[in-house]
Structure 1
Amino acid sequence: MRREIMDLHEMIVNQVMSNGMNEMISGSRRDGFRFRGSDVDTMFWFNDHRVIWNLKQTNMYKFGQRSLLLADPSNSPPGFTLLQLLTPPKYREINSACIRINDIFYVSSSMCRRVTYINNCPNTTEHGPCSRKHTHTNTDFDYAYCFACDFWPPSATSWINRCHSWPQRHVVHDVIRNGCHFVAIGHKLGNYRDTEWRISFSLAEKKLVCAMNHCQFLTYGLLKLFLQEAINSDCNENDKLLCSYHMKTAIFWLIQQNTMPFWRPNNLLDCFWVCFKLILKWTYEGVCPNFFIPQNNMFLGRINGGDQTSLFIKLYGLYEKGLESLLQIPSIKSTNIISLCNPTLSARMNEQIGTYEFDVELFHEVYCNGSNLCLFNAHHCIRYLDTLERLLHTPLTQFQVVMLQRHAAVIFQHAAFILHKNKNMNKLMYLTDKLSCRLLRLAAKFGCISDMLFIAMYYYKTLRYDKALAVIEMTKDKLAKPYVMYISEVDPERYSAAVEGLSWSKIMREVVAWDVTFYSSILWMNELKPEQQCSLMNKYPACNIPPFILLHMIEFLCLRYTDSVKSQTIVNNLQSNLFGTPVLVKSVKGAAIVEKFSIIANQTKERSNLLLCLTSWCFWIALNFLLIGLLEQQSVLRSGYSDIGIPLYVPLQTCRPTESTTISSLNDFQDLVHHNKRKQIHIHKRAMSSQILGICQQMTGNHQAALKSHQ
């Protein structure tokens, strides 16, 4: 599920953001693991540069289509190579990293790494071939810039000949067709350490992990946990000798050397133990052969001498404890006790994961990936919609359909506010406002409960306070349901009973709530401008606000113009729901600085055509979703009422608050923030919630309370 969602997201992003770079998540996250504290590894490569292994391969490219580099491994250790420049590079960073060796120009790995990281990854530290960025969530993001090669390395030909039973032949052909990459790091003992590049098989490893059966994948995960929580638990970053790639190499070798009957569900602990003994053997011998290029000893220059001896003593101590050493893995300790008490030392693997647990992981993946779109202007929206329209006509899994649904909701939301920003033309003012409202209702149709708040926010921004309050009340009713899942907070039994028989698309629309993400490329509300500016100052492109906080904020802002008494009550109640010391507002997703929001066109005519084109694409995508059965058989835009039951016209007397409503609104706000009785605010969002409360308090003139909230 996780891999399918990430594959789709990467496909969309790489097709839309045509800036000459492709990106791919690699490592544990790409494999499908979500271990606490694991790094997020991302590879970037220049799309118009390619590496070849011999000059005959130049015939595969049109002249001038690609900048070509020739791999020269003759003077490098196995698994490493020099990259000779054949044609002029298309980027200044690569040109500045060229050095001359024996009258031949090569691209220096160390210089290229330094130049690209300074320009593209500021405020990061060097970590091997990567640039590492540490975030407030204690997650390290590693960015590696590399070159792509469309051909399989000649030094890895022996791997093809070894593939008799695993992986299957179609997987082998697929791996060879995808080629390899070159990352900017040289061998520690190489003659040209600062110039060499390491051959990377990340694409091949991705295919091989997908080819694992369930037992093999669990064994791989158990090895990674054992490394993280038992072997390296008392080591700092610089003292860690074994890494997760060594675990992956061991499981690859053993899968290929052992027959399929060995990898069966009741044999999990035996599979783990065989892998551990192989790693112990490698440590004793000081040899860890690369799975694709066995001549490449990955321990050479890394684990030798005293380090090798101390590591072997540590591993042998765990070996003497036998399978009881698994008890040193805190995250699965209770499971280990049950397994180790079993005389057969087998692990049950036929138990199905519950509905609640699976849905939590599914929607977490959908929202973490689906909200991470670069939508700076209308041009980007159109490109994304064009890509989505083409993907709708391709075979999609049930998880990818939900992912596309989330992408569509985010694009519609951005498109609506972009249309509103550019409605300063009299002839288009009424049209763009009408289209923006319809797009936001479509977004609520595709998205979750929290997405209804975009409608309320738009109504507030356009001074339609009564309509905004109507949407707020409707959202309150939906969020008050006992089976509504906010991130992972919900009663599992009530949730499972409520979603029985429902599709994931309908579950997301009616039962799921999530944080509302505001990218700083758009000024969503003037009142949120300080938070968006703060996110940009801290190098984060977006801020995430809990739906309950945003709901109370919009309600307070609307009631300020209708009933100041109740608005004060909302702030007071929200204030009493937040406790703890606020910290700087940062976003969970913060990989790059968002470029400034640009005007989509200078001329009125060009702008009008672009906005109309954007709107056409939005409704064309909505129509396709209707055709593939994501929505019920009903009209998307019914006369008089919207798709989600929100009236298009609300009489003024319907939502006219009483005179005490404004103060009551502010009191509710303070109560939510300070007490958080229903766990409606995630621990990482308390600082953000407190600052928003301070904004509302400042509007009421209570500067002392506002200062306390901001502090």
Structure 2
Amino acid sequence: MDPISTSPIKAVLKRMSESVFMGLCDKLGTSQLVAMRRDVMDIRDAVLDHVTTSDDDSLMVSGSYREGFRLKGSDRDFMMWSQKHRVIWDLSQSQYYNTHRHTLILCDCSDSPQGYTLLYLLSPSRNQNIQRTCFRENNRLYISSSKYGKTWSSAVFPDPTPHGPCVSVVLSEDTLELDCALCFVSDFWPCPSSWVDRCQSWPQPHVVDDLVTNGCHFVAIGHTLGHYVHNEWRISFSLAEHKLVCAMNHCQFLTYGLLKLFLREIINNGLGDDDDKLLCSYHMKTAVFWVIQQNTLQHWCPQTLLECFWVCFKLILKWVYEGVCPNFFIPQNNMFLSKVHGEAQHQLFIRLYGLSEKGLAFLLHSPSIRSCIINVLHNPHLSICTDEHTLISEAKFDRELFQHVQEIYAYDSLYIPNLEICMRSLHTIEQMKGLPLLTQYQAVMLQKLTAAVLQKAALLLHMETYTHKNKLRYRADKISCHMLKLAAKFGCISDMLYIAMYFYKTLRYMEALTIIEMSKVKLAKPYVIYIGNVDSEMYTKAVGGHSWSTKMRQAVACNILLENKIHYINELLPEQMSSLQDNLSVLCIPQFILLYMLEIFCYRHVDTRRVQTALDDLHTLVYYDQGQIIPLLSRDISWQILGICQQVTGNLQAALYSFQQSLRQKPHHKIHTATEMRIQGTCH
């Protein structure tokens, strides 16, 4: 029985829908927050596209993170492909390429299931990894998907784990896991395509044109029931799917989010092995796409959210009953064919049908939205405001924005190996700042990227000119100092500490201490945002209503990121080398930890009487902080730095204890090799 159309209490269902809508806004994000997340990701990728040369591999964030979700425990998905290789669908498309620059690959779908293809190498590739993964058939050279995945992933990633068409890489224990799909790209949409003809009502024509113009990808996995399971490639519409999700209104997006929660918290709850999970998030997304395009529902709004969810759920139930889940772009591709069949299909249908008989009451089993439903059941006449702006204060929104900007830079920082690319990056950012369609969120991201590139350029310049003659070194030093000071004007408060590090490295201890004191004063302000902590009232009073550019300069502090391939200060070189050996590119140090460390090092050279006071401050912070200043994942590097400071001041017993404590923390920064080395030095 359909609980939506036959229930005599439609008014209660309407209020329940509104309550769930607001609960999902709080958990998954308001339309403004979701737009911000996407805009910040888009501008970062736009800069990266301009900076990347034809010799570099392209890297694109994909999956739910790119779509705007921030669900805890979700993997970060990437797609990586070679810029020098292009896939074409027929030989006539080869006219658009310079074969001296691009190696062309032709699709051969003649003997593959719908949605899959063999890739035929039209000319020898100069890439040795690709050459080693080819096999010959019918006097043609094809690229094997399984061999390519193994060869490429082992060459690019440390300890890769196969995960469908992706390889999984854990950056650090109990933290972020990356899923990277190694693929090829085509600038052309599969043709002929019935999908374009099907788009009469949704998406809009300009979205369809955009999707078709941007082509598709091919990921390294074959159909399990095909003739060439180890050699076929699956056609991927990941970029198109991202654009379709962005074309949804917020109720449609939250319906998709509710289906993801339903999948995680009810259907797959307690199923640990991926082989036991017959349904995945991709099936949920496909259902929403079909329901929107087929105009099954006239209105997608807060008052009808549960009705929208129910229609999507019933479509999934129908698919499971029939054993057919049609791909949205290639309907002939049945995505249930290899997994949802036989006894497994029968058991899944029984379970889903049992849920359908309970009606929407089964959503009470979802911890994320249970309270939203119970509140209305306890008070059927409850009045619910569906204005999203009432959910989030200015301070709360700004906190997420700045955290997101910092997180993107921490994990997805621009690849800038030399000064030439630094200059190219700055030129690209400068051009983008003048774009008429630039959003305010993207402007903040560009501002942070400007500061980051200037800091990197300053340090790279110093490293390259350190052994040069005095006159050239003097000029380079002046330029480096200017760039670091300029970066502090573009960036946040804690960016001043990069100047202090540089002054300490170049033996200007008093100048470094002056910067440290200025930083202390600014960081002590009660309205400063740091790792999610902020006094909302004080923040609003101090900078409320100001531009985000002003807020970032005056009221935001971030962790200090030290790229392990750049030499900052001698005292942290062992930690950087240890982390780099374990394929971690960045050390992320809490601002006050770095501040006290620099203060101790500087006072050792200019005023030894004040060293102990600074050491006591660092000791107190590391011992007694409850996550307000030192994030859990930074405990290892924080204990390590305390030990280093104790070691250089002669307190070897305390240093030994600190190093041992560093080893007991979650090894987020992969510095255990450096810690063990320092323990040996302390003991001897």
TM-score normalised by structure 1 residue count: 0.84
CA distance in 2, matches of 1:339, 1:419: 62
AA in 1 matched with 2:433: L
Equivalent residues of 1:265, 1:348 under 8 A apart: no
C-alpha deviation, 1:21, in angstroms: 1.6
Partner of 2:533: 489
Match of 2:13 in 1: none
Q: 1:400 aligns with which of 442, 449, 453?
A: 442
Paired position in structure 1 for 2:264: 228
CA RMSD of aligned residues (A): 1.9
Do structure 1's residue 549 and structure 2's residue 549 form an aligned pair? no
Determine the structure 2 residue equivalent to 1:431.
475
Structure 1, residues 373-416: CA drift from partner, whole Å, max 9, x if none?
A: 22333223122122223323323211111111111101111122
Does the CA-based 8 Å contact 1:268-1:347 persist in structure 2?
no
Aligned to 2:367: 330
Alignment of 1:464-543 (within 5 A): 464-543=508-587
Correspondence for 1:365: 404
Q: For the residues of structure 1 that align with 2:230 and 2:255, how far apart are their CA atoms?
A: 37
- Aligned pairs for 1:586-665 within 5 A: 659=609, 661-665=610-614
Instruction: Report if the CA contact (8 A) 1:266-1:346 is conserved.
Output: no
Task: Return the match for 1:676 from 625, 643, 653.
Answer: 625
- Structure 1 position 324, deviation (Å): 2.5
Aligned pairs (5 A) from 1:206-225: 206-225=242-261
Q: How does 1:129-278 map to 2 (within 5 A)?
A: 129-134=165-170, 135-154=172-191, 157-238=193-274, 239-258=276-295, 261-278=298-315
**Given the alignment, which residue of 361, 365, 375 partners 2:416?**
375
Aligned to 1:14: 49
Moved over 4 A (4+): 339-348
Task: Indicate which of 13, 23, 27 corresponds to 2:63.
Answer: 27
Q: Which amino acid letter does the alignment assign opposite residue 563 of structure 1?
A: D
CA distance in 2, matches of 1:111, 1:345: 60
Unaligned runs of 5+ in 2: 1-35, 661-684
1:412/1:443 contact within 8 Å kept: yes
- Give the superposition deviation at 1:70: 1.4
2:5 maps to: none
CA-to-partner distance for each residue in 1:208-246, whole Å, 9 max, x for gaps? 111101110111111111111221121113221111100
Q: In structure 1, what is the Cα distance between the partners aligned to 2:297 and 2:208?
A: 18
The separation in 1 between residues aligned to 2:112 and 2:409, in whole angstroms, is 43
Q: State the alpha-carbon separation in 2 of the partners of residues 437 and 11 from structure 1.
A: 29
> Identity of aligned pairs, percent?
54
Q: What per-residue deviation string (whole Å, max 9, x for no partner) do you get for residues 620-650 of structure 1?
A: xxxxxxxxxxxxxxxxxxxxxxxxxxxxxxx
1:702 partner amino acid: N
CA distance 1:538–1:678, shift in 2 (3 Å): closer
For residues 422-448 of structure 1, what are the alpha-carbon distances to aligned partners after superposition, in whole Å with 9 as ceiling and x for unaligned?
A: 243211232222222211111110111
Are residue 444 (structure 1) and residue 488 (structure 2) matched? yes
State whether residues 266 and 349 of structure 1, in contact with CA within 8 Å, keep that contact through their aligned partners in structure 2. no
SS at match of 1:331: coil
Q: 1:127/1:49 Cα in 2 relative to 1: closer, same or farther (>3 Å)?
A: same
The 8 Å contact of residues 323 and 340 in structure 1, kept in 2 or not, is answered as no
C-alpha offsets along residues 466-524 of structure 1, whole Å, 9 cap, x if unaligned? 22222111111111111111020122232233221111011111111110000011110
Secondary structure at 2:120's aligned position in 1?
strand
Check 1:462–1:325 CA distance in 2 against 1; reply closer, same or farther (3 A cut): same
2:121 and 2:143 in contact (8 A); partners too: yes
1:600 corresponds in structure 2 to none
User: What is the alpha-carbon distance in structure 2 between the residues aligned to residue 154 and residue 209 of structure 1?
Assistant: 23
The whole-number CA distance in structure 2 between the counterparts of 1:57 and 1:435 is 49
Q: Provide the C-alpha distance between the structure 2 equivalents of 1:503 and 1:191, rounded to a whole number of angstroms.
A: 59
Q: Quote the offset at 1:340 in angstroms.
A: 5.0
C-alpha spacing 1:78/1:345, structure 2 compared with 1 (3 Å) = farther
Q: Which amino acid aligns with 2:571?
A: E
Q: CA deviation at 1:202?
A: 0.9
State the 1:318 CA deviation: 2.8
Inter-partner Cα distance in structure 2 for 1:90 and 1:30: 32
Supply the AA of the counterpart residue of 1:106.
Answer: Y
Q: 1:361, CA displacement in angstroms?
A: 1.8
Once the two structures are TM-superposed, the CA of residue 182 in structure 1 deviates from its matched residue by 0.8
Counterpart of 1:576 in structure 2 is none
Partner deviation per Cα, 1:595-628 (whole Å, 9 max, x = no partner): xxxxxxxxxxxxxxxxxxxxxxxxxxxxxxxxxx
Please point out which of 82, 85, 88 is paired with 1:52.
88
Structure 1 distance, partners of 2:619, 2:150, is 49
Look up the equivalent residue of 2:120 and give its one-letter code: Q
SS of equivalent residue, structure 2 residue 83: strand
**Where does residue 457 of structure 2 map in the other structure?**
415
Stretch deviating more after TM superposition (495-504 or 164-173):
495-504
Residue 455 of structure 1 corresponds to: 499
Alignment TM-score, normalising by the size of structure 2: 0.87
Inter-partner Cα distance in structure 1 for 2:480 and 2:167:
41
Distance change (3 Å), C-alpha of 1:678 and 1:234: closer
User: For structure 1, which segment, 55-64 or 698-707, has the greater mean C-alpha deviation from structure 2 after superposition?
Assistant: 55-64
User: Aligned to 1:117, what secondary structure does the other structure show?
Assistant: helix
Question: Cα 1:346–1:501, aligned 2, differ >3 Å: closer, same or farther?
Answer: closer
Deviates more, 1:338-347 or 1:308-317: 338-347
Distance 2:448 2:458 in 1: 16
Tell me by how many angstroms 1:342 deviates: 6.2
Native 8 Å contact 2:158 2:583 kept in 1: no
The letter for the 1-side match of 2:643 is G
Residue equivalent to 2:21: none
Alpha-carbon spacing, 1:493–1:226, altered in 2? closer, same or farther (3 Å):
farther
How far the C-alpha of 1:59 sits from its partner, in A, is: 2.0
Q: Are the counterparts in 2 of residues 93 and 115 from structure 1 also a CA contact under 8 Å?
A: yes
The question of whether the paired residues in 2 share the 8 Å contact of 1:110 and 1:194 is answered with yes
Tell me the amino acid that sits aligned with residue 407 of structure 1.
L
Q: CA deviation at 1:450?
A: 0.7
Letter in 2 for 1:197: W
Query: Quick one: structure 1 residues 347 and 136, their matched pair in 2 at CA, closer, same or farther if it must change by over 3 Å?
Result: farther
One-letter code of the match for 1:539? N
Q: Which amino acid aligns with 2:315?
A: L
1:386 and 2:422 aligned? no
2:332 and 2:381 map into 1 onto residues whose CA distance is: 39
Alignment of 1:560 with 2:604, yes or no, is yes
1:20 to partner: Cα distance: 3.4
Contact 1:81 1:197 in 2 (8 A): yes
**Partner Cα separation in structure 2 for residue 138 and residue 678 of structure 1:** 17
CA 1:232–1:260 in 2, change beyond 3 Å: closer, same or farther?
Answer: closer
Counterpart pick for 1:702 among 648, 651, 665 = 651
Which one of 301, 304, 310 corresponds to residue 347 of structure 2?
310
Q: 1:106 to 1:346 in 2, by over 3 A?
A: farther
Partner of 1:127: 163
Which whole-Å deviations, capped at 9, do the CAs of 1:641-695 have from their partners, x for residues lacking one?
A: xxxxxxxxxxxxxxxxxx3x22111111100111116811111111110000000
1 CA distance for matches of 2:381 and 2:139? 67
SS at match of 1:560: helix
- Does the CA contact (< 8 Å) of 1:562 and 1:662 recur in 2? no
Q: 1:483 to 1:442 in 2, by over 3 A?
A: same
Task: Report the alpha carbon displacement of residue 339 of structure 1 after superposing the two structures with TM.
Answer: 4.8
Q: Secondary structure at the match of 1:330?
A: coil
The answer (yes or no) to whether the contact 2:459–2:568 under 8 Å persists in 1 is yes
AA in 1 matched with 2:574: P
Q: Aligned to 1:275, what secondary structure does the other structure show?
A: helix
Partner of residue 630, structure 1: none
Deviations 1:46-75 (A, max 9, x none): 212111112222222234332111111111
